[in-house]
Each structure stands twice: as C-alpha cells, then as structure tokens.
Amino acid sequence: MTETLVNKKNTILIVDDEPQIRKLLRIVLKDEGYKTQECENGSQAVRMSASIKPDLIILDLGLPDMDGKEVVDSIREWSQVPIIICSVRDADKEVVDALGRGADDYITKPFNPDILIARIEASLRKSVTREVGEPDLENGRIRMNLVRHEVFLDGHVIFFTPKEYQLLRYFMVNSGKMLTHKQLLKDVWGAAHGEDMQYLRVYVSQLREKIEPDPKDPTYIITEPGIGYRMETIGGASDHANAIDDVQENELLAGVN
C-alpha cells in the first residue's frame, strides 16, 4: 500500500474493556506504524471520538456501560469515521445489526492480526475521499453539540424534547435542502408514520417557537407549499441581526401605511 493513499501515522482508537485485548491491539497496530489511543467504555469512546478525531475506531460490543452498537449510533450522528467491530459475538444477527447501524466492518475474536490489518487498510482507503463531519452543527444563532445532545441559541442552552432534537438535527444536517413531508416523517419518525402530516406540523411549530425571532414569519424553517420544508442557511450572528432589523422595519412601514 502506498503512503500517499494511507498515511501510517493515522490514529486508531481502541475501545475494549479487556486490558489484554487492548495491549494486543496496541502492539499489532504500532508494529504497522499506526498511532493508538485507548479507552474501556462507551461513554469514553464517544467523547474521545470527538476530541481526538481518530482516523479509525476498533470497537468491542460488550462494553461495561453500554452496548457497542449504541456507540456506533452516537458517533454516526455526526461522523463517518470508519468503525470496525471486534467482538466475540459471532451470530449473524449481531453482524447484520452492527453493519446496519453504520459499522464499516466486523471481525470476530479471536482474530488473525494480518486479516485485521488488511481490513483496517481497506477501511482507510474508503475513507480517504469521505468527508468526515464535525461534532458541532452551526447555523446562524443555532449551535448543536451532537456529542452532548445540547442545543444553544445565542450561546444559551435551550431545552428540546428528544423528538424535537431529532427533527432539528435533521434540518441542520440538511440545511439548504428542500425536504418533503414524507421524507421528514420517514427519516425522523419511521416508515410507519409516512402519512402523519399533522404530527410534522405540530413539531415544526414547536421548533419555530424555540428558534425563530418571529415564529409567525420564520427565517429558519421555511414552508415549501405542497412539498415540505427547508431550513435556510443563515450566515452568522450579524447577518441574522440584519434579518431581524429588516423584519422590524417592514412591520414599522406596514404600520405607517
């Protein structure tokens, strides 16, 4: 493999609660020229994936604080970093479930080190052209921390219910795109809710009450009549302030007329 394709200085995060497994992986990876970081539970894995931004994660499923598949779920909310599951669980349903949640590969313990290295290099090749996300999403006054599941408006934490959070995150990730009613319902609520338009209207209204300067004249979540909604991409705080000034000026002019 050429160094231009995969730089052997890549950092790999090892997530396993067994010290002897971590030690074995550390030796194997360092012999191949990789840098390693380690942790022993899922909460640490999520935090470290955001703080050190590893190039690849080797993840056990049987962690002491949560199932490894939940770690995949959390990381996939904001990042496409390659994740290789390394677990004693060998049932087909476990493999299918982990891959379906976003893991890139699955290796069962005990493993052949040469095969593991080959899988790592294959995953890194795929990630060379893949755009990796950030743990924070920002749009104008809104900032979402996808690791801590927090939403900030003008720097202040705002409470959102779990479903409001999921809907706002979907809008933020797809900022600037026209999203159909069915697309939003299917991706946020699931296929069984594809026709529940009133559901969507209620939650969009709740979001507007929390993020819009004037919920009756929204500047973030715009209605596309007969189609769905679109979240406008707002430049920055100053741009947003100008937009508010324009709204207020229009209201004053309307009063004069």
The domain limits of the chain are 11-127, 136-256
Average pLDDT by stretches of 10, the chain with 257 residues: 50 96 96 95 95 94 96 91 94 91 92 93 73 72 86 95 92 89 88 83 97 95 92 67 48 46
Domain over 136-256 is classified CATH 1.10.10.10: yes
This prediction has a pTM of: 0.61
- Select from 120, 127, 126, 124 the least CA-distant residue to 25: 120
Cβ atoms 47, 36 nearer than 8 A: no
* Strands in 43-135 per DSSP E: 56-59, 83-87, 105-108
Q: Which CATH class is domain 11-127?
A: alpha beta
User: Across-strand partners of 59?
Assistant: 15, 85
Going edge to edge, which strands form the sheet with 221-224?
A: 178-180, 228-231, 221-224
Calpha distance 204→198 (Å, rounded): 10
pLDDT of amino acid 250: 47
Is there a contact between 62 and 68 (Cβ–Cβ < 8 Å)? yes
Give the span between the Cα atoms of 113 and 122, in whole angstroms.
14
| Predicted local confidence at residue 236, as pLDDT | 57
Strand partners, 13: 37, 57
Can you tell me whether residue 155 is helix, strand or coil? Answer: coil
Q: Strand 150-153's sheet: what is its strand order?
A: 136-139, 142-145, 150-153, 156-158
Q: Reply yes or no: is the peptide bond before residue 54 cis, omega within 30 of 0.
A: no
pLDDT at 252: 46
Give residue 9's pLDDT.
67
Q: Check residue 134 and give its pLDDT.
A: 64
Q: How many CB atoms lie within 10 A of CB 231?
A: 25
Contacts of 57 (CB under 8 A, 6+ apart): 12, 13, 15, 45, 49, 75, 81, 82, 83, 84
